[in-house]
Amino acid sequence: MDSLRLTCTRCSKKMSIDSLQGRCDCGGTLFVEYDLERIRRSFSKDTIYGRSASLWRYHEILPLREQGARVSLGEGWTPLIRMRALENKLPLRELWLKREEQNPTGSFKARGFSVAVSLLNERGYKKLAVPSNGNAASSLAAYAAYAGMEAFVFLPKDTPTMIVQECMLYGAQTYLVDGFIHDASAIITDGMEEQGWFHVGTLREPGRVEGKKTMGLEVAEQLNWDMPDVIVYPTGGGSGIIGMWKAFKELKELGFIHGELPRLISVQEAGCQPLVDGMNKDIESAEEEEGMHKVTAVTASPTGMRVPNPPDEGLILSILLETGGTAVAVSREDISTAQHVLGSQGISSSPEGAATWAALSQLLERGFLERTDRVVLFNTSHAMKYLPGRIDRKIPVVKDYRDWLLQNASHRG
């Protein structure tokens, strides 16, 4: 038996790892399945210790066979830092922030694309296309560029300007779409045969989830294999939640962690909250209704959380329920306030990252969070990708100290 194969999360059908493109015939998501029984014989916590500060430190449970095909720009092993001032403010027992903005391309998306582009590199693909709210596009663009492949990226036309500029800087063929991310995806699906595009959209191939999985592996290792109680994660397409859940399952099978899995909590912006809505229904109806959300009602900001039709909503909801987590929606105003709160602690947080902080008070009120919990937030990308590029308030221009004193006199009372 090949030690690597694909397995459908819905119907359990097994497939060769070489059929990378697409989803299962039944509509389910395809996971990479490892021979963990075999792997655990030679793979231990000690094996990893001292390895390179990149997600590839876990290469035994990543799907690349030829390590020479690896496309790595220095992704993963991002800092997990303690937010003491904020944990005292709530209070919580422990509050940690995973600084995903320190990845290449300034976002967590680098993880998925390092693994996905490596897999495609191993198989000789050369033209990759992705629909994206921004960060996935800029990451694909960078990894494809480094690997000498072509990238085609399709972004909603209200995607933040900075991210569009990044895609162009990395030389991607960049297109804006009059619609949402699923409209962008439809363009690729319709054109992929004719254009020879490999569709690297969320859950369309197994590599991106494997890359995202490493966020879970890292949180576990960075907390010395003593799992947190709760992980709060901004969720759009859901591959992060899915990936981390897969990580924890595999770590249990490998005997690296024990006990309950962390409660996984998805945060969305009000105005595009299919997961929050989905938690109020049963999962089967969510699966039936996939693709049926009234997209005309989408009023959320253009961020990575704005995914009206997640490709596998049923899988995400079942993970949230299984771990005792939930999904919450926060307002645009609360996100903006949260960006300033995190900023006041020295953290450059994207709206998505800030949303995780914004969710905490609601989660405490609703009883999904206890004051005795150890909590991990994910800051998925840099604030600067979303800053307006102009300064709204007037900043004093001073010539010398005397001038500074004069201009600040009014403030000093």
Considering only residues 94 to 153 of the shown chain, the ones binding a copy of itself according to CB under 8 A are: 99, 102-106, 141-146, 148
Structure tokens at 172: 């991607």
| Host H or E run for residue 246 | helix 239-253
- Cβ neighbours for 111, distance < 8 A, ≥ 6 positions apart: 55, 75, 76, 103, 211, 212, 214, 215
Q: Is 102 helix (H, G, I), strand (E, B) or coil?
A: helix
341-380 binders of a copy of itself (CB under 8 A): 343-348
Please say which residue, 22 or 396, places its beta carbon nearer to a copy of itself: 396
What is the smallest separation between the CB atom of 306 and a copy of itself, expressed in angstroms? 18
Selected from 37, 178, 284, 365, the binder of a copy of itself by CB under 8 A is 178
57 with 51: CB under 8 angstroms? yes
What is the smallest separation between the CB atom of 7 and a copy of itself, expressed in angstroms? 31
76: left (phi over 0), alpha (psi -120 to 50) or beta: left
Q: Which residue type, as a one-letter code, is found at position 121? A: N
What is the smallest separation between the CB atom of 51 and a copy of itself, expressed in angstroms? 9
Please say which residue, 323 or 379, places its beta carbon nearer to a copy of itself: 379
Please say which residue, 13 or 89, places its beta carbon nearer to a copy of itself: 89
> Of 168-176, 276-284, 287-295, 368-376, which segment contacts a copy of itself by CB under 8 A?
168-176
What is the smallest separation between the CB atom of 286 and a copy of itself, expressed in angstroms? 27
| Host H or E run for residue 173 | strand 173-177
Selected from 26, 85, 297, 406, the binder of a copy of itself by CB under 8 A is 85
Distance between CA atoms of 275 and 266, rounded to whole angstroms? 8
Selected from 6, 177, 275, 330, the binder of a copy of itself by CB under 8 A is 177
Please say which residue, 79 or 291, places its beta carbon nearer to a copy of itself: 79
Please say which residue, 14 or 82, places its beta carbon nearer to a copy of itself: 82
Query: Helical H runs in 65-198?
Result: 84-89, 109-122, 135-147, 161-169, 181-195
305 with 267: CB under 8 angstroms? yes
Selected from 2, 68, 296, 397, the binder of a copy of itself by CB under 8 A is 397
Which residue shows structure tokens 């990378």? Answer: 20
Selected from 24, 56, 166, 237, the binder of a copy of itself by CB under 8 A is 166
Please say which residue, 45 or 252, places its beta carbon nearer to a copy of itself: 45
Please say which residue, 21 or 345, places its beta carbon nearer to a copy of itself: 345
Q: Which residue type, as a one-letter code, is found at position 286? A: A
Total interface residues for a copy of itself by CB under 8 A = 75
Q: Other CB atoms closer than 10 Å to residue 149's CB: what's the count?
A: 19
97 with 347: CB under 8 angstroms? yes
The DSSP call for residue 68 is: G
Distance between CA atoms of 110 and 144, rounded to whole angstroms? 11
286-345 binders of a copy of itself (CB under 8 A): 339-340, 343-345
Please say which residue, 395 or 409, places its beta carbon nearer to a copy of itself: 395
Q: How far is CA 215 from the centre of its chain?
A: 9
What is the smallest separation between the CB atom of 263 and a copy of itself, expressed in angstroms? 25
Spell out, one character per residue from 27 to 66, where the chain touches a copy of itself: x when CB under 8 A holds, - when not.
----------------------xx--xx------------
How far, CA to CA in Å, does 199 sit from each of 26, 145, 281, 300, 303?
19, 16, 31, 26, 21
Residue 78 near a copy of itself by CB under 8 A: yes
What is the smallest separation between the CB atom of 298 and a copy of itself, expressed in angstroms? 17
Distance between CA atoms of 247 and 229, rounded to whole angstroms? 16
> Of 61-69, 258-266, 291-299, 385-393, which segment contacts a copy of itself by CB under 8 A?
385-393
Angle between helical axes of 207-222 and 239-253 (0-180°, round to 10): 60
> Of 17-25, 184-192, 207-215, 248-256, which segment contacts a copy of itself by CB under 8 A?
184-192
